[in-house]
Amino acid sequence: MDKQITPSLNNQKKSLYYGYIVLVACFFIMTFASGVQYCFGVFFKPMLNEFGWTRASTSGPFSVSLILGGLFSIFAGRLADKFGPRIVVTFGGIVLGAGVLLMSQINNLWQLYLTFGVLVAVGSSAMYVPLVAMLSRWFPKRRGLMVGIGVSGIGFGIGVVPTIASQFIVSFDWRTSLLILGSASLVLIVLMAQFLKAEPKTSPVNNDSAKSADNTIYTKGLSFKEAAKTGPFWIIFIAWLLYGFFYQIGTVHTVPYATDLGMSALAATSILMIIGIVGIFARMCLGFTGDKFSHRKILIISFIFLALAFIGVSVSGTVRMLYVFAVLYGAFSGVGILLAPILAEYFGFKSLGAITGVMMFSNNIGGAISPTLAGYIFDTTGTYRLAFIISGAVAVAAAIFMWLLKPALKNNKL
């Protein structure tokens, strides 16, 4: 009897899949990393009021941060493939936290470029790409759903961190708020990074594991050079560039636009809270539906809805429509979680980190152009209407490119 019970008990002890611990760590890392980035809009007007800069020049550091963050994400993906995500994310957490702490001491525009534009860029670049590539390896059977859950920390960060930072600004000042934000993000990201592991050492006996007993699945697929020679690589590259363009306009200028409509600074952060909370559930749903149906088709539908959201807010110009925009933007702007599953379908796992890094670079190029452009449009016209119309048109173009992408062959999916 004892011999029969012992194996059963051992199986129960082994039932907890370590991938779920990795998943929780990813969620909280993305919460603080994204929360720091999306707080930029909250600090936008306080810095304008103190230093008297234009909206275009104040948007500049955010654009530089995206360009450098995208560039460094390529190296982060390669480094994570080689050394593992724990080392890379730990380094990123230290640099990100230091950048925010130093940002609290700025007195000149060039200092904002250095702290947010460079240090925050380097730190944040070490987060997204290594984490989504890692989750894709831990959960090959439910890739879209699990990446969606992990990356839904972005939505939680958008919904919670800017609101807390805004409250600190009201209670103290924007510099003190940055000191608290930088300290918390540094400690918590570094702590959570210690739970990360690159991939399962063995093939676990559950539905999230590969069926084979070895890990050859993680070495299958195209090399980076081979992938870069294919048509799908460049179609996804362009679509992700366009996605970054309209996505970052919503990120940087939503709070300033809300205050332009007469909302208080604290009330304006409720827009970000809606975007974030809706985004938490939306990212999970997008990943789940992508696994069940088609990641490519979900992207096309999402881009169309985002186009309608931007066009609607540009035509209406009311607070009520801004709340509608927040719901749609939160529900569909998180389609970035589908990138790793799509890339795995078309190119495999062999160089997934490096390929994902290049796609994120293209996304950041588009995102670097749009906030400064939107700021310039406002400075010259006194309204964001044209910027929102352009964003809607770009979203339609992104949908067209994904429609041109041929479905991945079933026997090529890994």
- What's the average model confidence in pLDDT over 301-314? 92
Two tokens, residue 300: 């096309």
For residue 206, what pLDDT is reported? 45
Comparing CA positions, the residue from 392, 335, 371, 377 lying closest to residue 251 is 371
Asked if pLDDT for residue 213 goes beyond 80, the answer is no
pLDDT confidence of residue 12:
45
pLDDT value at position 201?
63
| Higher-scoring residue by pLDDT: 204, 145 | 145
The burial class, CB within 10 Å (0-12 / 13-18 / 19+), for 197 is middle
Cα(106)–Cα(64) distance, rounded to whole angstroms?
17
- Give the pLDDT of residue 305: 93
Residue 208 is predicted with a pLDDT of 47
Q: Is the pLDDT of residue 22 over 70?
A: yes
Q: What is the pLDDT of residue 413?
A: 45
Q: Are 96 and 372 in contact (CB under 8 A)?
A: no
Helices (H), 84-127: 85-103, 109-112, 121-125
Residue 332, H or E segment: helix 319-332
Q: Would you say residue 211 has pLDDT above 70?
A: no
What pLDDT does residue 214 have?
A: 42
Give tens-digit pLDDT for 354-397: 788 788 888 888 888 888 888 889 889 988 899 999 999 999 99
Amino acid at 379: D
Predicted confidence at residue 233, as pLDDT, reads 93
**d(C-alpha 55, C-alpha 60), whole Å:** 9
Domain 19-199+217-412: state its class.
mainly alpha
Q: Average pLDDT in the 86-95 region? A: 93
Under the banding of pLDDT at 50, 70 and 90, the label for residue 409 is low
pLDDT tens digits for range 44-84: 888 888 888 888 888 888 888 878 887 887 788 778 878 88
pLDDT tops 70 at residue 5: no
Nearest to 370 by CA among 245, 255, 285, 257: 245
Give domain limits for the chain.
19-199+217-412
Mean pLDDT of 209-227: 60
Considering the entire predicted model, what is its pTM? 0.69
Q: What is the mean pLDDT of residues 241-269?
A: 83
pLDDT at 9 over 70: no
Distance, CA of 396 to CA of 393 (rounded, Å): 5
- Residue type (1 letter), 125: S
Other C-beta atoms lying within 10 Å of the C-beta of residue 50: 13
Q: What angle do CA 185, 355, 131 make, to 5 degrees?
A: 30
Provide the pLDDT for residue 247: 84
Provide the pLDDT confidence category of residue 118 given band limits of 50, 70 and 90.
very high
